[in-house]
Structure 1
Amino acid sequence: MATYLLPEPGTHSPSAAPTATASPASTGCDSQLSPGTTTVQVTFSGQRYPVRVHLPEEPSIQGAEDGTRDELPDQATPATDQEALALVLDLHGSGANATAQAQISGLDEIADAHGFVVAQPTAAIPLESDSPLPDGSWAWNVPGVPMVAGDYPPEDARDDVAFLTAVVDHLVQTACVDSQRVYATGFSGGGRMASALACARPGLLAAIAPVAGLRAGRAAYDNTSETDPLTCDPATGVPVLTFHGTDDWVNPYEGNADPRWGYSVNTALGRWAELNQCTEPPTQTQVSEQVLLTSYNDCSGGSGRVQGYTLTGAGHTWPGSEADFGELGTVSQEIGASELMWEFFAKHPGR
């Protein structure tokens, strides 16, 4: 079990919660949520599920996505008069929850600096009845992929592709979210879930940036070193950024024979480059002593780049995170994944 440094224990579990439903959907850009962190209830298949949501402390100003927010006037116009905000779905890893993921990614601070919304839903498949985490340990229902123990999700497990789509729809209606600027990241199993969402609903996402979990469909049954192309063949390309440590023993960089993981990170990048119709060989840039950036840049149809940061010596961790990953290995501090992924997202401003 991973070790994480958590903020104060949350007060919500991912089971259906007996709280009031959200207010009716708004029109235009009239957010029903206040700046800061809150928990909203999203109704899906007759049940309500809590989603941790963080709205920036300052409203979004048109043109502020280029990183010049500190140049904004002191007296900003109220959020109800501003453009809709970008949304980043931040999905936790297997055995964790929304509260733990917020601590790992630190995206709240990035959201405040650049003016976007962060949403951390919690998965619904319980992994441990005696979890040490205050809000429990949960796993996503990644289509066709076994869970941590090797078992497939129960037949009646929540459809998480549909659920995450419902989360986006809810926040578009209630949090002044721009439906054209929805992005997804995730750690480990959350990265696999973000990848699966891009495969299944490419029109929902403007870009993805999984950490230690990029996939391009399920590993082939007869050869886990290859992708099963039938399980990820989106109608449109999706810009992709990923971060992965070479010493990751949970989801090995070079792949393994386990159907939960299978093919290598480079195979995943290559498949997304193929899906995005990137015609030129990748380029490589040595960002720092232990960090290499691989980029597929010549991609047609406006599908955007496919890029991956390889972190030599890093474990199953989130680059730049202040969380304690314990036995999962070294955390690279040479780059910050959360800041870099937002820079990537901001360069892909719409579908």
Structure 2
Amino acid sequence: MTVYVPAGARHGERLPAILNLHGTQSTGSNQLHYSDMKPSADAGRYLVLAPSGVIPAASGFAWNVPGVGTPPHAARDDVAFLDQVIATAVTSLCADPKRVYGTGYSGGGRMISAFACHRPHRLAAIAPVAGLRAGRPDPLDPSRPDPQSCTPARPVPVLTFHGLQDWTNPFQGGGSEYWRYSVPAAQQRWATINNCASKARTVTLTPQISKITYAGCRHGAEVVLYTVADGGHTWPGTPVDNGNGTVTHEINANQLMWRFFQRYRVHPNQAPAAPPG
């Protein structure tokens, strides 16, 4: 596992941590580079935990996302693995167990979504990039999430980013078997899980960027989606061109998710702190 410790961290200091999961055919170290999270970690003084999947995929690995596809025989249980990653970070790296957050790109976004479904007590909030899911597609109607496949025992605040020109994980769904339902359907399902108000509020930030928010949620666990009209299968704000379409620099995913994360702690019966600033 690749770990980044922010500049100036003091020995024994309890720091927040972000679990940052790579996309399919990549690795933890590649994800740390692609997401360009080191500067944000230095500014926010948080650890970055970037483990690798175990299923071979091209020159990298894939995650064993529960309920999706047919993994190789005896593939690692990646929900249990990520649980252990967090436990190790808390005991050995002085991560603050109340301030562990999750993000991931593409297949890593699908994996962190699934982990939040199965281990909601481990994560104070999640922010998948180009990969938000809310359980497997319903076998009876793949255009919607199967409500029985994601039933967390506590609300999980969700922030996500998705390009409308993403042809790998299309915004409107379709494509691979694990990607049958749309991103708005995934957002709406998380809003239902979090007992949010039934209607979302949409704000146009720029001609290319819109912000869609479900508020009024249990324990303040908002569900927020940034859409990028010209965005591809990419990480907003990264300087790295991965060849998967336009990268927006009108917003920066790392800065926005860290601002969002700071509002939340793992306190099942407590509302989030007020936004900083």
Q: TM-score, normalised by structure 2?
A: 0.94
Give the SS at the match of 1:288.
Answer: coil
| Partner residue, 2:246 | 330
Runs of 5+ consecutive residues of structure 2 not aligned to the other structure: 268-277
C-alpha deviation, 1:257, in angstroms: 5.6
Residue 79 (1) aligns with residue 11 (2): yes
Residue 202 (1) aligns with residue 132 (2): no
Residue 319 (1) aligns with residue 269 (2): no
Give the 4+ runs in structure 1 shifted more than 2 A. Answer: none
| Partner residue, 2:273 | none
**Inter-partner Cα distance in structure 1 for 2:184 and 2:238:** 23
Report if the CA contact (8 A) 2:121-2:266 is conserved: no
Q: How does 1:1-351 map to 2 (within 5 A)?
A: 51-59=1-9, 78-80=10-12, 82=13, 84-128=14-58, 131=59, 137-146=60-69, 152-256=70-174, 258-300=176-218, 302-326=219-243, 328-351=244-267
**Inter-partner Cα distance in structure 1 for 2:85 and 2:18:** 11
Percent of pairs identical after alignment?
A: 46
**Inter-partner Cα distance in structure 1 for 2:15 and 2:68:** 33
C-alpha deviation, 1:185, in angstroms: 0.2
Give the SS at the match of 1:166.
Answer: helix
**Inter-partner Cα distance in structure 1 for 2:85 and 2:7:** 21
**Inter-partner Cα distance in structure 2 for 1:99 and 1:257:** 28
Report if the CA contact (8 A) 1:91-1:186 is conserved: yes
> Which of structures 1 and 2 has the bigger CA Rg?
1
**Inter-partner Cα distance in structure 1 for 2:136 and 2:90:** 30
**Inter-partner Cα distance in structure 2 for 1:350 and 1:58:** 25
**Inter-partner Cα distance in structure 1 for 2:146 and 2:222:** 22
Give the SS at the match of 1:79.
Answer: coil
Report if the CA contact (8 A) 1:311-1:332 is conserved: yes
Report if the CA contact (8 A) 2:169-2:175 is conserved: no
Deviations 1:264-304 (A, max 9, x none): 0000000000000002411111122200000011002x151
Report if the CA contact (8 A) 1:221-1:259 is conserved: no
1:242 counterpart letter in structure 2: T
- How many residue pairs get aligned? The number is 267
**Inter-partner Cα distance in structure 2 for 1:304 and 1:86:** 18
Give the SS at the match of 2:137.
Answer: coil
| Partner residue, 1:69 | none
